[in-house]
A and B are shown apart, each in its own frame.
Chain A
Amino acid sequence: SQTIHQWPATLVQPVGSPLSLECTVEGTSNPNLYWYRQAAGRGLQLLFYSVGIGQISSEVPQNLSASRPQDRQFILSSKKLLLSDSGFYLCAWRRTGGIYEQYFGPGTRLTVT
């Protein structure tokens, strides 16, 4: 069976500090991968998605970047965090091709102080 991991679960970082959130998927190959952000009481905003290694598409211009160094690893980064980067970050995956559902990780709660 497939499993998706995200870490850390919670993070408190000062403004201007760097960020690295990691997501890994087990039990599947060549998944589509996604990073979402969810503000309190709001829906999900798609930040980045990847359909293959090294292929990253950005949905929203912002202070963040993403990388996919391995088939089942997706990393969200920032060189300098802003207060507005606070939120709940969710990683998700789906099977490639066709109509499929997405599977989400447990999320990372980021607070920028």
Chain B
Amino acid sequence: SQQGEEDPQALSIQEGENATMNCSYKTSINNLQWYRQNSGRGLVHLILIRSNEREKHSGRLRVTLDTSKKSSSLLITASRAADTASYFCAIPSGGSNYKLTFGKGTLLTVNP
């Protein structure tokens, strides 16, 4: 089954800088989701963007979706040390809405 692939695998920035992570996939989808995972913890849902949406915001997070290029990006503005975590994109799999396939994630390190 297909999965989203995040890029880069790891990203290290300074506090206050912006962080951009990308996700690419191969087949048509009706939604794409981004999650965050702090070390040793469960995943936390960040944003769900539907295929008819091009951009979505939540606080300092901005997600874009380009269905023609089969890609999505997650932008974190004015990053903080607390943003240090792994970020995963997830897409529906098996032709259903109730199963998700997760990528391997981008490890973001924000240095104070």
Q: A-side interface residues toward B, CB under 8 Å?
A: 6, 32, 42-44, 46, 49, 51, 88, 90, 92, 94, 96-107, 109
Contacts and interface: CB of A to CB of B under 8 A. Distances in A.
- For chain B, which range describes its interface: under 10, 10 to 19, 20 to 34, or 35 or more residues? 20 to 34
Contact of A46 (B42, B101, B105): B101
B54 interface: no
Contact of B48 (A32, A43, A101): A101
Majority SS at the chain B contact face? strand
A43 B104 CA distance: 4
Contacts of A46: 99-101
B102 A43 contact: yes
30 contacts: A6-B42, A32-B98, A42-B104, A43-B104, A44-B88, A46-B99, A46-B100, A46-B101, A88-B40, A92-B42, A94-B98, A96-B98, A97-B97, A98-B97, A99-B30, A99-B31, A99-B97, A100-B97, A101-B33, A101-B45, A101-B48, A102-B43, A102-B45, A102-B100, A104-B44, A106-B42, A107-B40, A107-B41, A107-B42, A109-B40
